[in-house]
Chains A and B, each alone.
Chain A
Amino acid sequence: MRRLLALLPVAAFVIVLVGFMVGLRRDPSILPSMLIGKPLPAFTLAPLRANEAGLASVDLAGQPVLLNVFASWCGPCKEEHPTLLRLKAEGVPIVGLDWKEDAADGARWLDANGDPYLRAGNDRTGRAGIDLGVSGVPETFVVDRRGRVRYRQVGAITPQIWAETIEPLMARLKAES
């Protein structure tokens, strides 16, 4: 009994050590989405340019798509942009949500850098983004053909994140009926 008692501090130390080893390796700035497995919240957004269609949540049903939240004032978006353009060239359906800025600014940005989106909507007030739980740009949601959110990417999609995480997920979702 006494000997077991003496081992107690060692056991406590090991528990704390494991706790720290797991806890300190997590990135606390990456938050889980509340929407995983749930339908996309409803939104209807005006287009970036007057003669275009805009973006509504119902537009996202039918096939797995990426919903990319971006803004012209966002630095990492510029970093992510070439990847999005490449994905567009590969036939990946992407729709854009222009967050918290004037539509004209978003349109000008797409004119200058290339437009990877099938369609895009302007969220001037930021409310659609807030309904999605967006805390910054860029963020990307993978939405399945039934309009449910399956994955949330906080920060830019790098070629590595695409290849290791999102592309396999998209392939799985395509196989789902």
Chain B
Amino acid sequence: MRRFLLIAATALALSGSARAVTPDEQLPDPKLEARARALSQELRCLVCQNQSIDDSAAPLAHDLRVILRERIAAGDTDKQAVDYLVRRYGDFVLLRPPFQADTWALWLGPVAVLLLGGAGVALYMRGRSRTAESPLTAADEAAAAQLMMRDEGD
């Protein structure tokens, strides 16, 4: 049992780091490699479009990871390295779309819907509480008093 747990724990620990990146792609400088790694997790694989190039085992993703590392090793900033790929593949390679004129609806849409919905709910609630606050008529009071009496009688 203990051995099984050990194996399971090891497998679990290893699975976290099991990615498509192969050792021969990695940069010798761990600092640069960490930067490349972080950037590649934000870049879309053009072949399997819902994976990052960091996750994808597609040959093109491998090529793009290598290019990204070349740019970084050559002294590019993060932005320059990413822009290099955006010039070739467009904003589509960015898994996190940039905030610009053609993506305003994407970024602001949910907030707008939430605000509109909130305003609607607020209006509705105000309408409700106003009717609830209207005072009881004499007949209502009498009926209520009668109900109370009956309760006490039990």
Q: Which residues of A contact B (CB under 8 A)?
A: 28-29, 31-34, 100, 125-127, 130-133, 135-136
Instruction: Return the contact of A32 from the options B59, B67, B88, B90 (Cβ within 8 A).
Output: B90
B76 on the A face (CB < 8 A)? no
Which of B49, B63, B92 is the one whose CB lies under 8 Å from A126?
B63
Bound CA–CA A131/B87 (angstroms): 9
Given known pairs A29-B49, A100-B59, A135-B60, the reply for A130 and B67 (CB within 8 Å) is yes
B88 touches A131 (CB 8 A): yes
Residue among A28, A127, A130, A132 having the largest count of chain B Cβ atoms under 10 Å: A130
- A133 and B90 CA atoms in complex are apart in Å by 9
Nearest CB of B to A13, in Å: 13
Instruction: Answer yes or no: B46 CB below 8 A from chain A CBs.
Output: yes
Is B47 part of the binding interface, using a Cβ–Cβ cutoff of 8 Å? yes
Interface of B is mostly: helix
B95 within 8 A of A: no
Establish whether residues B63 and A34, one from each chain, have CB atoms under 8 Å apart when the complex forms.
no
Q: For residue B49, which residues in chain A have a CB less than 8 angstroms away from its CB?
A: 28-29
A32 to B49, CA, bound (A): 14
Report A57 CB to chain B, min CB distance, Å: 15
Whether A135 contacts B90 by the Cβ 8 Å rule is no
Question: Which chain A residues lie closer than 8 Å to B87 at the CB level?
Answer: 34
Given A34-B87, A34-B88, A130-B64, A135 and B46 touching (CB < 8 A)?
yes
Chain B positions near chain A (C-beta within 8 angstroms): 46-47, 49, 59-60, 63-64, 67, 87-90, 92
Q: Which of B59, B63, B64 has the most CB of A within 10 A?
A: B63
Output the nearest chain B residue to A126 by Cβ-Cβ distance: B63
Query: What are the residues of chain B within 8 A of A126 when measuring CB–CB?
Result: 59-60, 63
Smallest CB-CB separation from A9: which chain B residue? B120
- On whether the beta carbons of A34 and B47 are closer than 8 Å, the reply is no
Query: In whole angstroms, what is the CA distance A34 to B90 when docked?
Result: 6
A43 to B27, CA, bound (A): 27
Instruction: Give the nearest-CB partner of B62 in chain A.
Output: A126
Tell me if B47 and A31 are in contact (CB < 8 A).
Answer: no
Expressed in whole angstroms, the minimum distance between the Cβ of A128 and any Cβ of chain B is 11
In the complex, which residue of chain B has the Cβ closest to the Cβ of A29?
B49
Which single residue of chain A is at the shortest CB-CB distance from B86? A34
Identify the 8 closest CB pairs spanning chains A and B, nearest first: A135-B46, A133-B88, A34-B90, A133-B89, A126-B63, A31-B92, A130-B88, A130-B63
Q: State the Cβ distance, B132 to closest chain A Cβ, in Å.
A: 20
Q: Cβ of A131: which chain B residues have Cβ within 8 Å of it?
A: 88
